[in-house]
Each structure stands twice: as C-alpha cells, then as structure tokens.
Amino acid sequence: MAEALTLGSAPSASTRPDAATPRPRHITTLAVENMRCGGCIRSVERALSAEPGVLAARANLSQRRVSIETREASGNEERFVAALAAAGFKAMPLTEDRLSKASSEDMDLLRRLGVAGFAAANIMLISVAVWSGQAQDMPPSLITLFHWLTALIAMPAIAYAGRPFFASARGALAAGRLNMDVPISLGVLLASAMSLYQTIRGNDHVYFDAAITLLFFLLIGRALDQRMRSRATAAAENLLGARVAAATVIHADGTAERIAARAIEPGMRVLVAAGERIPVDARLVSGESDIDESLITGESRPRTVLTGDTLYAGTVNLAAPIEVEASAREETSLLSEIARMMAAAEQGRGRFVRLADRAAELYAPAVHVLGFLTFVAWMLRSNGWEASLEAAIAVLIITCPCALALAVPVTQVVATGRLFRRGVIVKAADGLERLAAVDHVVFDKTGTLTLGEPRLAAPDAIASDSLSLAAGLAVASRHPYARAVVAAARERGLAVRPLDGVTEAPGAGLAATIAGRTVRLGSARHCGLPAADGDGATLWLADGEKPPVAFATTDPVRADAARTVAALKASGLSIEVLSGDRAEAVAGTAADVGISEWRAGEKPDGKIRRIEALKAAGRHVLMVGDGLNDAPALAAGHASMSPSTAADISQTAADAVFQGEGLSTVVETLAVARSTRRRALENFAIAIGYNLVFVPLAMLGHVTPLIAAIAMSASSIAVTANALRVGWTGRKEQAP
C-alpha cells in the first residue's frame, strides 16, 4: 500500500536521492490536545508525513505529543500546526529543552532501579546456600568465593543505585541539616564497608544483600513519586505550550509580518483571521465579525463587534477577518491580569501537609540517636566493636522510611491509574488529598453543567427540506450556530450539499441565490423580519417568498448532570452554581439539574470573593469549571476539576482534568480520593506499627542487618498490597 509514512518509519538512506550527501536532521515537537486513540496516532502521523520536508513523524499517545523529523532547523511549527488543524487536531509547539528534564529524571531512576533489582536478585541467588544453613557443609574457600562474588556485584551496584540518596545526604550535611536520606546512606555505607571488611578478613558476617535490597525498595518508592510528578509536569507543559501565540502585524507601509504576540506594542495594527484568537487587548478598527468571549465572560452566545469595540486577548474571532489596534502589551492584557489573580489565589491556598513530611522532621535525628545509643550500649556490655556496629546498622536499616515513603506515592499511583482509565487526569501531586476533604461543590454553567456547544433546541420540528437547505448554507460558515445546523442535518441523515456562491455578512448571517431567488440564514434583521422573536439565540431561514423558518438554539445540559448532582447531594455535599452567563440561562440550567442555589453574571473577582467567603465559613470547596474566567476560582478553591474541553489556562489551574461529555467522573473522583486517603492512613499505621515492633528487637540484638532488610521489604510489600485495594474498593464507591 502506497501511503504516507506511519509510526515514524522513514525511507532508508540508500533509497533516497540525496543519500550520498546526508544532511543534518532536526526535531520539532508538538503537543496534540485531542489525540486519544490508535486511530488518532495514524491520522496525526499521516497528516504530518505528507508535509514537504518531513522525514518522519512519531506520535506518543500517553503524552499526547508528536515529534517531527525534518531537515530545516526552524520555521515549521506553524505549518505543522496548520496541517494538524486541517486533519481535525489542535496542536501547539513545544521546545525540546522544556521536555527533556522530567523525561531524563524518570529514565535515570528507572535505570538505577533496574541495576539495583538485577544485583539484588543475583546476590540472593548466590547467598541462598548460606541462608539455608548449608554453609557449615561447604569448604571455607567456597564460602569466601561466594562472598567475593557478592562483593563484586554489590559494590558497583550500590555506588550507582544509591547515588540519589548519597547526593541528597551530602547536600543536607553540607548545609548543616539532616534529612531522611542521611540515615539511609549511613546504613547502606556502613553495611557495605563492614561487609567488605569482613570479606577481606574471611569472616561470615556480610550484608551486601541487605544493602542492595534496601536500595531497591527505596528506589521503587522514589520512582513512583517521580512518576506522579512527571505526569503532572507533562500535562502542564502541554497546556502551557498552547499559550505561545504569534500574530500578523500590519506595518505602516501595508506590509504584513508574523511576530510573537509578546512583541506587540500598543498602537500596532494586527490582522486577525477567522478562527484565530485575539493576541492582545485591542480596539476594532476595520471589519465586522462575531467574537466568542465565553472564555472571558462564560457567556455562550457570540458577540457581534463593530468598529470601535473593545476586544480582549484570548477571545476567538469567528466570522470574518478583522483588523485591530493593540491597546495593551501581552503582559498587561486581561488574560495576564487573570493569570496574576491565579497566582495570588495559589499563594493564598493552604496545602495539605502530608503526614510523611511531618514525620520526617523527627525521623532523621531519632534514627541517629537510636543507632548511636545501640552502639554505645553494646560497647558498654563489652560485646566488641563488630557486634556493636552490627546492631547499630540493623537499627539504621530496620528504621528505614521505605514503608513510610511508599505510603502516599503508591496509593496515589494506584488511584490515578484507576482514574486515568476512567478519563480523569490528576495533575497536582496533592490533588487527591485535597479532593478527599471536599464538603461543598461549586459548578460553573457553560461548558461544565452544559456542553458549551449550541445545538438546535427542537430539530425534529423543522421540516427536512428546510433543514437541508439551511445546512447547505451553514456548511460554508464556522459560526457555532451554523455548525449546530449542520450537525442536526447530519444526525437526521440528510445529505449536506454546499450551495454555490454563499456569502457571509459578519454578525448577520449567510446568503445565496438559488434559481433566481435569495435564500438567507441568520438573524431576524438579516432575513428581513421586522423584529427578533425570542432572546436572540435564534436563527431564521428565509427562502424567497416562503414564510421564514425559526431555528431555536440551546446549550444542552450534560446527559448525566442531574444524576451527578443527586449523587453528590445524597453524600451530604452542598452544591451551588457560579456563572458569568445571563440570569435566565443560569436559572434554567440550575433548575434542570436540581441545584437551588445559583449566582449569575459573576466575573472572575466575584467568583473568588464567593469562594473565599465559603472558605472563611469553614467549607472545603471543590470548584468545577472550564472557562478562562474560572481559572482564578479554580486556583482559589480547596480543590478543582476541569473538563478536557476547558480553556488551557483553566486546565493548568485545575487539580484534575476529566474527559468525555459526562459529569459522573466527578462523583467517582471524590470516591477514589476518599478511598486513597483511608489507604494512605492505613499505610502510615502499618509503617509505624512495624517500627514499634522491630526497632526494639534490633536494639536488643535479635535482628541482624539481613533480617532487618527482609523485614523492611516485608513492610513495603504490605504497604503496596494495601494500596492496591484502592483499585478494588474504588469500583464499588460510585458516590463519595
């Protein structure tokens, strides 16, 4: 099959005409927002591979990114974004330096974990004869050989796998403080040094297996924690990348130049094509169009703008090209002001302090004191320095914080994995902890309780011939109402045939001439009616002398919104709606879903004031919203969630992002969060109980370093097994 390259496979060098003179290759990375399946991967790679100069395209579904290999070093980003837009994908450029750090940290930990696991397994195999009590039947030379083999495996592995802990401990000591890695490093190094000393002397007490096994389990905990952090970082990078924008500036001599939005100065004239976002706050100086301001106001209806009207950064030009004059720089736009409000809300939001962090303040000094007291007590009893040091090492190892360190990360990974399979991405490291404490839920309306997409209110009441004719006009426009007409026609199974010669009057509607008669679709004024019926959210179809046909539009409520609200109420949570939309629209939606308390016409600062008032009353608020005007409120809430269709800045502010058209994932997310909190607390109890039992035994000399490492491993396994219950119980807890 002759088709564009897929899966990033490029032609071999020997088959290319320029194989004799290879040129340097360059990688361009794009974040692709709506890539969700294997079919999407093929479509993305096929669209990019068809572009001139592309050698290979490789898509990564888990990170929703695609890497494009080209010969040109730069200047391709906009072309590739446009190619993906034509294929139905929203993409934005990312730079390699922004991507490399988290990825390299993940790979580094995985490599060290692999080395530690491989070394521990092999040392265990070599040492099994000694453990099983068969050493007395072996010649001393064979036992010594086994010890040297374990030393040759363990010493390089410990030096490599333990570096994260050793470096952290060295940094803490250099700064004159202790952290949890200091006793870990001390125990590992003492056990390794003592074991090497005993091996050189030909003695039997070697604990290389204990040292490397300890590092293996500690690295598991660290790798799990890093996985959580990198997942949040990757999501944030993808979303923040969408804020990088370029604009077409019209110079005084009439020439056009594409420059970065941050370089626009007040007074510059900017050409904004249909479908593009307004790059900065500006004043309309030429043209007429419809502007989607739902990100700013929450209002679902586009606003018709005329010469002299004020436009805001981040809003979308829907209908026709316009020319605007910048009235502010990017950093002083309304968009930036909302970002600053977000930052202020973030600083004022109290974070849940993990129990592990509180325990860590006492852990390091307590371990050192216990180890030192054990060594001194054994020396005073004339047990010799070797036996005393062995007891002290056992104390250092057995009190290692492996189970404590795993208590939260492992439960979070299990919980986030379960939620990810349900279409919920938990971005914040402590998001589940704060979601578990929620007792009051605040919903935005447009795009949250509703779908945020206009649809025909009663399509079945419209005759098929009228709907088909309207769709033939509407298919030529990108206006949301026009798309609603086309969607309704296709849902009914009608053939949508574009009409010839369709013209669009910005802010008014569409028109075409068919067999000598004029057909119009748009506002009442555009269709020649004396006055508009309804609230303005209505299209009209005028076909020559025939009576005009009305097309009422609505923003439908999500199918499961009422059930979700009922489930949240049944669990004892209080609920309200905060929206920037019109009062009548908010009241109708609130009544449809069963919410009695609502507020309309709320700007970003008003939403923050309401949330702050709830917090002052002792409530733990979950804010669920999608618009740019919701971003500060999302940051101000105790916890926050946002749908995947939300504004990029809102997704960045939210603790969790849910996909699909349903709201039921909000209920399940709260259920899983509470289950996660219970499992984490149980894990803390396991870790503390383990230390209360085994530390006294180690101090009394009943535990060797090897038994200490095995006991430590057992506690880690117990914690992990308990954490897996989050995945089991979460299926039953459909309500919080």
CB 663, CB 559: distance < 8 Å: no
Instruction: Give the amino acid at 16.
Output: R
Neighbours of 206 (CB within 10 A): 28
Q: What distance in Å separates the CA atoms of residue 248 and residue 259, rounded to the nearest whole number?
A: 6
Q: What distance in Å separates the CA atoms of residue 224 and residue 118, rounded to the nearest whole number?
A: 19
Query: Could you tell me the two tokens for 71?
Result: 């010969």
Q: How far is CA 708 from CA 208, 398, 691, 717, in A?
A: 13, 5, 11, 14
Strands laid side by side in the 509-514 sheet: 455-456, 549-554, 538-543, 517-522, 509-514, 503-505
Look at the block and give the residue holding tokens 């064979």: 142
DSSP 108-136: HHHHHHHHHHHHHHHHHHHHHHHHTT-GG
Specify whether 626 is catalytic.
Answer: no
Phi, psi values for residue 382, rounded to 5°: 60, 40
Neighbours of 698 (CB within 10 A): 27
SS3 386: helix
Please name the residues in contact with 486: beta carbons below 8 A apart, sequence gap of 6 or more: 471, 474, 475, 496
Query: Could you tell me the two tokens for 167?
Result: 């470096």
Q: Which of 209, 281, 444, 648 is catalytic?
A: 444
| Nearest Cα to Cα of residue 430 among 219, 232, 265 | 232
> What residues does 621 pair with on adjacent strands?
440
Instruction: Give the amino acid at 114.
Output: G
SS3 539: strand
Instruction: Give the amino acid at 249.
Output: V
Query: Could you tell me the two tokens for 660?
Result: 């699909």
Query: Could you tell me the two tokens for 635?
Result: 């940051």
CB 68, CB 54: distance < 8 Å: yes
Helix pair 664-699, 355-380: axis angle to 10 deg: 10
Query: Could you tell me the two tokens for 362?
Result: 């006492």
- Indicate the Cα dihedral angle 590, 595, 600, 603, nearest 10°: -120
Q: What distance in Å separates the CA atoms of residue 254 and residue 531, rounded to the nearest whole number?
A: 41
Angle at the Cα of 464 from the Cα atoms of 459 and 465, rounded to 5 degrees: 135
Q: What distance in Å separates the CA atoms of residue 695 and residue 543, rounded to the nearest whole number?
A: 88
Give catalytic residue positions.
444
